[in-house]
Amino acid sequence: MTLFSLDFDKFLLELGSETCIMGILNATPDSFSDGGKFNTLETAVNQGIKLVGDGAHILDIGGESSKPFATSVSEFEELDRVIPVIENLSKRIDVPISIDTVKAVVAREALNAGASIINDISAFEKDPAMADLAAQRGVPVVLMHMKGTPETMQVYPNYNDLMLEITNYLKSRADNAMERGIQRKNIILDPGIGFGKTVEHNLVLINHLEKITALGFPVLMGPSRKSFIQNILSKNSKTPVEANNIKAEYGTLAAVAASILKGAHIVRVHDIEKVKPFTRIIDSIRNA
C-alpha cells in the first residue's frame, strides 16, 4: 500500500500502515442514522469526546444532512449548529477536526473556530470559493464523487462505465484543486459510497477500489450504516434492517474490512468503539 503523510497545523497523520478512522458527528436533526441524537451543544460535545476516546484519528462534524432527498439548510442555520461544537471540542480533544460542508462561509468560520480539514461532498462544485479558501489556509481537503445532489442522487442513478466515470471525475477535481493552489499532499479522494449509486454500484466500487487508489492520493471510504448494507441484509429477513440495527453495524464492519484490504487509507464511521479493534486486526493481517 502507498503511504502518505498529512502534515498540517499542529497535526501529523501517517496514512497507510494503520487505517485512519474518521469519527462521524452529525449536529443535525435529520441525518439518516443518528439525526437528532447529537443536535444540542452538550450531547454533541459529549459524543465528540467519546469518539476520540474510543480511538478516532479525525472528528468529522457536519451541520447539514446529505442523506438521499435531503434539502439544504441556510448558512446561518448550519453555522449555528456546528461552530459552538467546534469551538468547544477544539479545546478539549487532541485530534484534528474536519468540517463537513459544501459552503465556503461555513468552512471559513469552522477553520477559525478550530477545525483544520475541509470535507466537501461536492468536490468544490457547489461553492467554487471553497478551493480558494482551502488553498489560502493550506488545509487538507476531502473531494467526493456524487452523481447529482442529495435531493436527486438516488433517482435512478446510471453509469455507462462506473469505475471509469468515478475515476475520471475524481482526477479532474483533484487537478482543478491543484490548479487553484491546493498542494497535492493535501488532497484526499472519496468515491462517495451511497451518493448516487445503487446497491450493485457500491459493491463494484468497493471491489475495484484499486482503480481509485491508482490515482496516487489517499482514499477515504464511508460505508458506515449505508442503505446498501441495510438492503442486502434485509433480503430474506422477516423484518427490515434499519440503520441503527446491530446487523447494520456488522455489515459496516464487513464493508470496512473490504475497503481496507482494497486500499482505503481512511474510513469514516459512526461507531469507533467497534471499528477500532476491528481495523487493528485487519491492519495486522494486511501488513503481515
Are 211 and 257 in contact by the 8 Å Cβ rule? The answer is no
Q: With contact defined as beta carbons under 8 Å apart, do 141 and 121 qualify? A: no
Is residue 50 part of the annotated active site? The answer reads no
Residues 6+ apart with CB under 8 A from 160: none
Dig out the grid coordinates for 50 from the structure: 467519546
Cell numbers 433517482: residue = 155
- Of 226, 274, 280, 286, which residue is the catalytic one? 226
Q: Catalytic annotation on 226?
A: yes
Question: Which is the catalytic residue, given 268, 274, 280, 286?
Answer: 268
- Report whether 208 contacts 264 (CB < 8 A): no
Percent composition of the chain: helix, strand, coil (DSSP 3-state, to 5):
40, 15, 40
Exposed, middle or buried, 62 (CB in 10 Å: 0-12/13-18/19+)? buried
Query: Rounded to the nearest 10 degrees, what angle do helices 129-137 and 104-113 cross at?
Result: 20
Q: Are 114 and 90 in contact (CB under 8 A)?
A: yes
Tell me the three cell numbers of residue 14: 501517517
β-bridge mates for residue 21, sequence order: 267
SS3 157: coil
DSSP string over 119-132: EETTTTSS-THHHH
Q: Which residues are annotated as catalytic?
A: 226, 268
